[in-house]
Structure 1
Amino acid sequence: MENYVIVQPEDPNSIDARDLMELLSDNLQSITGDSGKNSFDVTDVTVPRSLFVIARNQQGEPIGCGAIRPIDTNIAELKRMYAKSKSNGVGTAILSFLEEQSLNFGYSQIWLETRLVNQKAVSFYENKGYIRIDNYGKYLNREECICLGKFLS
């Protein structure tokens, strides 16, 4: 049976959102030694042309999340991407939704940062058409970081 995933905008301050982001932080801490909490402020996804989404399964249970926020007029930054299951299309559904919404908001690119040691995430994004870009912003001159970007069409 086809996995059923619904992705929709939700309040980043909701209990489900906080629970998912806590799971993400724990996961990142175990993989990279950094929870990523210092790289995300919930107010970043409550400004115009930003969005926080939650993916839910057929039973309505929260199974993943993600967000976009503006870097500049043309570039959105992908934040807080997380899927409880790494194999049933949850991450792909979230990413596709956020890419579509980014286009609707008028962005031409999406950028993101993850850690080089987080090879599963790097491979996931590369398989979705993201390519390595120069490190930007707070990730400049940080060898443990990898920044990726994609032109939207």
Structure 2
Amino acid sequence: MQALYLGTGEQSRFSHGDISSARGRFLIARTAKGEAVGCGAFKRLDFGVAELVCIYSRMPNAGIGRAVLTGLESNAAKAGYHTLMVDMSRTSRLGKRFFWRMGFEPAFSTGADLQADQGLFLGKKVV
């Protein structure tokens, strides 16, 4: 699924260790037949704050992204996070619309590795 999200020749913003730790997650959405159709992940950004590092759906507008994000929100709350952040391109209309519909709002980065001039930061409280 990581290859589907990144395509060929791209570098990931996260390592396997980031998302397979006790404070990170990688989820795969599958059809009833077991076919992978989407994925998502988060990693620790700061104390109490997780960063979404990927959300992918093979079939846009089919509810897969929503299901993946809902699962990530639940897992983040169980892992002890109170906030999910996403760093995205300021020009990504579809991404902005998706996250705004899902309750994300403009936020400030709390991590030293994120630069305010690089993208748009959106955040959401999770419970």
* TM value normalised by structure 1: 0.74
The 5-angstrom pairing of residues 54-133 of structure 1 reads: 54-133=28-107
- Preserved CA contact (<8 Å) 2:6 2:12: no
Aligned-residue sequence identity (percent) comes to 25
1:6 corresponding residue in structure 2: none
From the CA coordinates, give the structure whose radius of gyration is larger. Answer: 1
**Contact kept in structure 1, 2:40 and 2:55, CA below 8 Å:** yes
* Structure whose residues are more often helix by fraction: 1
User: TM-score, normalised to structure 2's length?
Assistant: 0.88
Q: What is the CA–CA distance in structure 1 between the aligned matches of 2:108 and 2:36, rounded to whole Å? A: 34
Superposed CA RMSD in Å reads: 1.9
Distance 1:87 1:127 in 2: 13
Per the alignment, in what secondary structure is the counterpart of residue 71 of structure 1? strand
**Out of 1, 4, 7, which is 1:26 matched to?**
7
Aligned counterpart, 1:152: 126
- May I ask how many residue pairs the two structures share in their alignment? 126
2: distance between equivalents of 1:74 and 1:54? 24
1:137 maps onto 2:97 in alignment:
no
Q: 1:56 to 1:142 in 2, by over 3 A?
A: same
What SS does structure 1 have at the residue aligned with 2:34?
coil
CA distance in 2, matches of 1:148, 1:125: 8
For residues 74 and 62 of structure 2, the distance between their equivalents in structure 1, rounded to whole angstroms, comes to 20
Task: Give ranges in structure 1 of 5+ residues lacking alignment.
Answer: 1-19, 30-34
- Tell me if structure 1 keeps the 8 A contact 2:51–2:84: yes
- Which consecutive aligned stretches of 4+ in structure 1 deviate over 4 angstroms post-superposition? none
Structure 2 stretches of 5 or more lacking a match? Answer: none
Structure 1 pair 85–42 and aligned structure 2 pair: CA distance change class (3 A): same
